[in-house]
Structures are given as C-alpha cells and as structure tokens.
Amino acid sequence: MLSPAELVIIDRARNPQHAGELVGATHTLRASNLSCGDEVTLYLAVEDGLVQDARHLSRACSICTASTDLLCADLIGKPWPTSVDATSHVAQLGIELSPGRQKCAELPLQTLNQT
C-alpha cells in the first residue's frame, strides 16, 4: 500500500499543476541530470521583482517531475531572484530518498540556481 506522500508524488507526476510552456516568460532556465537523463525547463514570469507565474516542462522521473511542480508552486509570489532551501524543498516530498533519487529531487533547484 502506498503512503499519502507517495500518492502525492504520483499525482504531481501524472497531473502536474504547473506544467507547460509559459508564453511571455521573462526567464527560461534548463538543466539535466546526465546520469539518469532527467531534463527540466523552468519558465518564470517576473514583474516588479516578484515571480508572477512559474511553469515547467519536465522529461523526467516521477520524483523529479513532482519536485519541479512543487517548486513552481512555491516560487509564485516570491521575490526575484530568490533562493530555495534544498532541505526544506525536498522534505515537501515526504519520503526518504536514496542519494540517487536525492539528485532527482534537487534537479529543479539546480535549474533555478543558474541565475
């Protein structure tokens, strides 16, 4: 039986709330994890120093896609540029991650930190 956290990850991966290209994005950031093939593109609309909208296109595993979708939700309304604490962000997934899966969960943060 799956835990509630695992169900959230599966739901966010299958039905991401912030997926899709953002027309009019002011920032487009891309990164990939060469060891597993995950790829993330973040689209941000920043106006007056605040993130107004955040979207993503992810060709990635469930953990990475869910993490990216949660990151987009967290970014909206935050000052730009912003920093996101990796430990608290990954904790939102609600499960223990192996070192390899930790890299999947942190890829969206690495993408964001390219600024």
How many folded domains does the chain comprise? 1
SS3 106: helix
* Helices and strands in the chain: count of H runs, count of E runs: 4, 3
Share of the chain above pLDDT 90, in %: 88
Domain ranges, residue 92: 4-112
Where residue 92 sits, what CATH number does that domain have?
A: 3.90.1010.10
**Cβ neighbours of residue 14 closer than 8 Å, sequence gap 6 or more:** none
pLDDT (tens digit, 9 = 90+) per residue, 8-44? 899 999 999 999 999 999 999 999 998 899 999 999 9
pTM strictly above 0.75: yes
